[in-house]
Amino acid sequence: MVDPVEDGLIKSFPRPGGNITGLTLKAAELQGKRLQLFKEAVPNISEIAALVESGARGVRRTEAAEVATAAARVLGVRLQPVIEVRDPGELERVFLRIARARANGVFAVGGTMFFANRFRRAEQALKSHLPMMCDLRDEAEAGCLMSYGPNLEELFRRTAGLVDRILKGAKPDNLPVEQPTKFELVINLKTAKALGLTIPQSLLGRADQVIE
């Protein structure tokens, strides 16, 4: 779940109520940091296309776009109008559209469809010669230039802990919905090389994983 309060699944994070608890990604809050890292990796980037999955549960398109747009102004780059993708069959056409708009980077806010088609999406970005910032390690491993987001393994371990507590008698309505505490930066140097990019050593030194 991303924001279960806004989705109407729980009453609040400290006391969710009902029979639901878990962890949230809170993706919109990360957009400014992700854009900053993207600009650091590709200093000459000036026009960035924002790509989101249409209708993805928990993807707050407006909030994410507002945070990213504010960060873009500070960084001196232009964030182009958000492009929504409804179906993986649209990806080739969407990347052609992005290239025609003269963007020199793609800023992706993911959902389940994007994640399931991460190799296809990365392939289209590379085919269009566009560096792409993604959400998760798996997406960078699939070919995105880089990713910055929650560590899913940590979230799975913490989820298992919640399940254990419930099985031992704890009530979900008394278990606070938790947020990520560990975020990871992953850089794909194979993709950088294919795009003719040199990632600054100062950024590589801060990465949690460098794919070579």
CA atoms within 13 A on the CB side of 65: 14
Residue 43 token pair: 């200093």
Domains in the chain with CATH codes: 27-153+179-211 (3.40.50.2300)
Q: Which SS3 state, helix, strand or coil, does residue 76 take?
A: coil
pLDDT of residue 166: 86
pLDDT > 70: what percent of the chain?
A: 89
With CA atoms as reference, report the closest residue to 150 among 179, 178, 122. 179
Residue the block writes with tokens 């050593």: 201
Rg over alpha carbons for the chain, rounded to the nearest Å, is: 18
d(CA 10, CA 17): 6
Q: Looking at the predicted structure, is the pLDDT value of residue 58 above 60?
A: no
pLDDT of residue 3: 61
The pLDDT of 149-153, averaged and rounded, is 83
Strand partners, 49: 106
Q: How many CB atoms lie within 10 A of CB 44?
A: 9
Q: Looking at the predicted structure, is the pLDDT value of residue 6 above 70?
A: no
Please say whether the beta carbons of 83 and 51 come within 8 A: yes
Name the pLDDT band for 1 (thresholds 50, 70, 90). very low
pLDDT of residue 56: 56
Name the pLDDT band for 109 (thresholds 50, 70, 90). confident
pLDDT tens for each residue of 70-105? 888 899 999 998 888 989 999 999 999 999 999 999
Q: Average pLDDT of the chain?
A: 86
One-letter identity of residue 86: R
Treating both helix axes as pointing N-terminal to C-terminal, what angle do 118-127 and 91-100 enclose, rounded to 10 degrees?
A: 30
- Choose the most confident range, by mean pLDDT, from 6-20, 100-114, 145-159: 100-114
pLDDT of residue 27: 58
For β-strands 146-150 and 209-211, DSSP reports them as: unpaired
d(CA 116, CA 104): 25
Put simply, whether the predicted model's pTM sits higher than 0.95 gets the answer no
Please say whether the beta carbons of 22 and 62 come within 8 A: no
Q: How many CB atoms lie within 10 A of CB 135?
A: 25
Q: Looking at the predicted structure, is the pLDDT value of residue 195 above 90?
A: yes
DSSP 17: -
The pLDDT of 112-131, averaged and rounded, is 95
pLDDT of residue 170: 84
